[in-house]
């Protein structure tokens, strides 16, 4: 229980991650800030309703959905759907485009690719 067991040194001088996109988790040490950023995005994906959203959009021939379609499809209230869309939009996973009364959401494929690279 007491500190007989030595801790791992925090600094190892490994190459800095590329700053433009998410740093890889398995090569090179990540800063606390970076860990927070990556964790935040994974948390966004940690909700079945949001995954279903991605899944639905990807299944559309048009590759987009109107927000209003989702209320009935997901079986959630309109504010809840709106909340999820906002969370995903702010996480960079979706784009939104207003066309008249409706708002269309699309996947950001690059963001997903980025996340994939985090895990490699």
Q: CA 63, CA 79: separation in Å to the nearest integer?
A: 23
As a whole number of angstroms, the longest Cα–Cα distance in the chain is: 66
Nearer residue to a second copy within complex by CB, 18 or 42:
42
The reply to whether 93 sits near DNA by the rule CB under 7 A is no
Number of residues that bind DNA (CB under 7 A): 28
> At its nearest, how many Å lie between DNA and the CB of residue 59?
18
* Three-state secondary structure of 10-51: CCCCCCCCCCCCCCCCCCCCCCHHHHHHHHHHHHHCCCHHHH
C-alpha triplet 15, 17, 18: angle, nearest 5°: 125
Give yes or no for residue 100 binding DNA (CB under 7 A): yes
Which of these segments, 11-19, 22-30, 77-85, 106-114, binds DNA (CB under 7 A)?
77-85
Residues of the shown chain interacting with DNA in the complex, contacts defined by CB under 7 A = 1-2, 4-5, 43, 46-47, 49, 66-68, 76-80, 82-87, 96, 98, 100-103
């Amino acid at each position: 229980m007491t500190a007989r067991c030595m801790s791992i040194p925090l600094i190892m001088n490994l190459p800095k991650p590329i700053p433009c996109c998410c740093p890889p988790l398995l090569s090179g040490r990540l800063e606390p800030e970076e860990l927070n950023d990556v964790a935040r995005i994974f948390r966004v994906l940690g909700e079945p309703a949001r995954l279903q959203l991605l899944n639905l959009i990807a299944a559309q021939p048009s590759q987009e959905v109107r927000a209003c379609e989702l209320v009935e499809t997901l079986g959630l209230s309109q504010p809840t759907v709106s909340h999820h869309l906002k969370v995903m939009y702010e996480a960079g996973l979706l784009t939104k485009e207003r066309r008249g009364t409706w708002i269309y959401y699309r996947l950001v494929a690059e963001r997903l690719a980025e996340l994939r690279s985090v895990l490699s």
